[in-house]
Amino acid sequence: MTKPNNSLLSSGRWKPWEYALWLLALAAPFALPGHALIINEIAIVALFAVSLDLILGYTGIVSLGHAAFFGMGAYSAALFAKLVMPDPLVGLAVGMLSAGLLGALCSVTILRGTDLTRLMVTLGVGLIMLELANKMSWLTGGADGLQGVVMGPLLGKFEFDLYGQTSAAYSISVLLLVFVLARRFVNSPFGATLKAIRDNRLRAMAIGIPVSNRLVVVYTVAATVAGAAGALLAQTSSFASLDLFEFHRSADVMLLLVVGGVGWLYGGVVGAIVFKLMQDVISSITPQYWTFWMGLFLVVLVLVGRERLIRPWTWFKPSAGEPKS
């Protein structure tokens, strides 16, 4: 029996600061009750970003239609609560299952073609789901959205209140659980094959990696996680609308990964925190032009670099490999 790769084991180990970080995150809704609603939004967006990072950062698949799975999970959870039973955990499982099935069905669209082809196909899937939700207004509510969604108490004890403390704690707990599972997933031998596919698909096929099977599995897993994020949003807001399928959802989550870093699970979490806080602060100062300042920040981030941006004294120093003037 071969021993596990030491690099995989070391990368999967938790650091002491990570335990402290997640404990602070779980305590945040109760320590900052006035900010529980935005904490809930950050947790949901971070979960959505983690789902995209599984296919973009670890497998090299660029998707502009990831909102299709986000919206599928949201509508499934909302419809289940409205028509069947209001239990949040069962609804969450239904949202994840429906999004995972959709991801498995759509995974065949990424197996062939160039990166540009896959990019357009994923965008098309998102647009198709948007139009389907719009046409099936008898079920989804169409442009008016799905209203009248009432969620039962979490675990039969904790009611969803207007302050959002229960919602935030619920979303952070789901984010933590999925993050732990995703970390084990990407740091496993299976995850190592995904990175090999990302780096060179032809070489991965040459050494015997079943590329098509790997892509189907990771795409389905990513869709399931995106469905969990959508289900959380529908459950904590008691509403689902066509906006969940819109292109800007997919574009925003890609921007989050640009801000936080691709191929690093914490990148989605960091990106969600930075993006949502900046959006909240800037829009409160200048509601009409907050997108301008966000765009300017992204331009500076790309030109200067993420590491240099957090260390301004290195802006005018050449990075490794750059010739000194």
Per-residue model confidence (pLDDT) at position 228: 93
User: Amino acid identity, residue 93?
Assistant: A
Distance CA 225, CA 54 (A): 10
Q: How does DSSP assign 172-223, residue by residue? A: HHHHHHHHHHHHHHHTSHHHHHHHHHHH-HHHHHHTT--HHHHHHHHHHHHH
Has residue 3 been placed in a domain?
Answer: no
The reply to whether 225 and 292 lie within a common domain is: no
Considering its fold, how many domains does the chain have in total?
2
State the average pLDDT for the chain.
82
Residue 154 tokens read as 């979490």
**Per residue in 33-49, pLDDT tens?**
888 888 999 999 999 99
Q: How far is CA 225 from CA 8, 104, 273, 284, in A?
A: 23, 13, 19, 31
Q: Compute the radius of gyration of the chain from its Cα atoms.
A: 20
Distance CA 297, CA 305 (A): 11
The reply to whether 171 and 229 lie within a common domain is: yes
Per-residue model confidence (pLDDT) at position 310: 52
Mean pLDDT over 102-126 rounds to: 81
The reply to whether 147 and 207 lie within a common domain is: yes
The reply to whether 100 and 72 lie within a common domain is: yes
Whether residue 209 has pLDDT greater than 60: yes
Q: Show the DSSP H helices in 13-87 as ranges.
A: 16-31, 36-56, 67-83
DSSP assigned state of 313: G
Has residue 56 been placed in a domain?
Answer: yes
Has residue 37 been placed in a domain?
Answer: yes
CATH number at residue 241: 1.10.3470
The reply to whether 84 and 144 lie within a common domain is: yes
Q: Determine how many CB atoms are found less than 10 A away from the CB of residue 144.
A: 10
The reply to whether 207 and 315 lie within a common domain is: no
Has residue 113 been placed in a domain?
Answer: yes
**Per residue in 135-189, pLDDT tens?**
888 888 877 778 777 888 887 787 877 777 888 889 999 999 999 999 999 888 8
The reply to whether 213 and 292 lie within a common domain is: no
Whether residue 96 has pLDDT greater than 90: yes
DSSP assigned state of 156: T
Whether residue 297 has pLDDT greater than 50: yes
Whether residue 294 has pLDDT greater than 90: no
The reply to whether 248 and 178 lie within a common domain is: yes
Mean pLDDT over 282-296 rounds to: 79
Mean pLDDT over 273-279 rounds to: 84
Per-residue model confidence (pLDDT) at position 309: 52
Which residue range is the domain that position 315 belongs to? 286-325
Whether residue 91 has pLDDT greater than 60: yes
DSSP assigned state of 158: B
The reply to whether 301 and 230 lie within a common domain is: no
| Highest mean pLDDT out of 26-35, 41-50, 109-118 | 41-50
Distance CA 172, CA 183 (A): 16
Per-residue model confidence (pLDDT) at position 5: 54
Q: How far is CA 278 from CA 24, 29, 37, 174, 292, in A?
A: 20, 19, 15, 24, 12
Share of the chain above pLDDT 70, in %: 89
Distance CA 68, CA 324 (A): 47
Has residue 279 been placed in a domain?
Answer: no
| Highest mean pLDDT out of 177-181, 248-252, 255-259, 261-265 | 177-181
Has residue 29 been placed in a domain?
Answer: yes
Has residue 281 been placed in a domain?
Answer: no
The reply to whether 66 and 106 lie within a common domain is: yes
Per-residue model confidence (pLDDT) at position 313: 40
List CB contacts of 18: < 8 A, sequence separation 6 or more: none
Q: Determine how many CB atoms are found less than 10 A away from the CB of residue 23.
A: 10
The reply to whether 95 and 164 lie within a common domain is: yes
> Are 189 and 8 a contacting pair, CB within 8 Å?
yes
Task: Give the residues across from 240 on adjacent strands.
Answer: 146
The reply to whether 162 and 291 lie within a common domain is: no
Per-residue model confidence (pLDDT) at position 279: 80
Has residue 163 been placed in a domain?
Answer: yes
**Per residue in 220-246, pLDDT tens?**
999 999 999 999 998 888 888 888 888
Residue found under tokens 């389907």: 132
Whether residue 316 has pLDDT greater than 70: no
pLDDT tier at 321, thresholds 50, 70, 90? very low
